[in-house]
Amino acid sequence: MSTALAVVLADRFIQLPAGTPGLGILIAGLLAACGWGLWTWWRRMPSSSTHALVGGIVGSGAASTLVGGPNIAESYQVLLQQIILPLLLSPVVAFVLAYLLVFPTTWLMRYSSPRRGDAGNRIAQSVFTSAFSLGHGMQDGQRTMAVIVLALVAAGYSSDAGIPLWVQVFAGTALAAGSLFGGWRISHTLASRLVRIDPLRGMSATAVSSSMLFMGALWLQIPLSGTQTMTSAIVGAGANQRFSTVRFIPLREILVTWLTTAPATALLGGILFLAVSPLL
């Protein structure tokens, strides 16, 4: 997992107030993000956990200001530049790159028989899928670690942005367990309900999405949503064939889910903070 990016997020993501007010803002935002994540998972809709977390914290921070508590206004510019803009741009970039990658890939396979080409593309897709799994763990792992570090700092148990070993082990174990027992619901939507694509285009989509996750985690050190990146790459690669292969009803539902994630979790985070504020 990318501990460097986790340190960056913990240091620059949100400047929480110290003590119980900061913990209240974080817990309310985290509960809102978890609730939204469970609801979208039940509906088999891929959504961005980072967008949900950002929306929840922004909503709980606004609710804290509303009741006269501390605010996180100084963090809003960082949220826009480091979190929101990369998350909004990454689906567009993934769609375009996957669409364009089909052309040189098709040219390289022009002398291969369909059977041999499909076999090679399936092998390459398996490799890129494994790389995507690692990149997805790096991206989601650093967000999980950053949230735990923020909680430790707000509670006064840590005064720096270092990542303890137990935090890394806990984040990795939780992500692995969640993917093992529940990830198949989202995978079914992406693999079967969204677009019908051949092995060549499936390989192109996984190549683009895995490369973007590694680039975001290791080079640019910005958070990217693995779910949004993979979904957009699949649609981009699938659009580079017959137009009817894209199933627009599931695609429309996914886009609506993406657009409503941050506002919904912001509202829920604000309500949850108001509910717990008398205890703070």
% pLDDT > 90, the chain: 7
| Dihedral sign for Cα atoms in the order 30, 34, 40, 46 | positive
Highest mean pLDDT range out of 8-17, 82-91, 94-103, 128-137? 94-103
- Give 127's contacts (C-beta < 8 A, 6+ positions apart): none
Lowest mean per-residue pLDDT among 64-68, 178-182, 202-206, 209-213: 178-182
Q: pLDDT tens for residues 93-128? A: 889 999 999 889 888 887 777 788 888 888 988 898
- How far, in Å, CA of 95 to CA of 233, rounded? 5
The residue that leads in pLDDT, 40 or 218, is 40
Quick check: 268 pLDDT over 90? yes
Quick check: 8 pLDDT over 50? no
- Give 53's contacts (C-beta < 8 A, 6+ positions apart): 29, 30, 33, 143, 147, 265
Can you give the pLDDT at residue 109? Answer: 81
* CA 104 to each of CA 80, 98, 109, 122: distance values in angstroms, whole numbers, following the listed order: 35, 11, 9, 17
Q: What's the predicted TM-score (pTM) here?
A: 0.79
Q: pLDDT tens for residues 208-248? A: 988 888 877 667 666 777 788 888 888 888 888 765 677 88
* CA 276 to each of CA 79, 84, 102: distance values in angstroms, whole numbers, following the listed order: 24, 27, 52
- How far, in Å, CA of 161 to CA of 176, rounded? 24
Quick check: 36 pLDDT over 60? yes
Q: Once rounded to an integer, what is the mean pLDDT over residues 122-140?
A: 83
Instruction: Assign 272 a pLDDT band (cuts: 50, 70, 90).
Output: very high
Quick check: 143 pLDDT over 60? yes
- How far, in Å, CA of 8 to CA of 83, rounded? 12
Can you give the pLDDT at residue 4? Answer: 41
Q: Once rounded to an integer, what is the mean pLDDT over residues 248-265?
A: 87
3-state secondary structure of 275: helix
Can you give the pLDDT at residue 75? Answer: 54
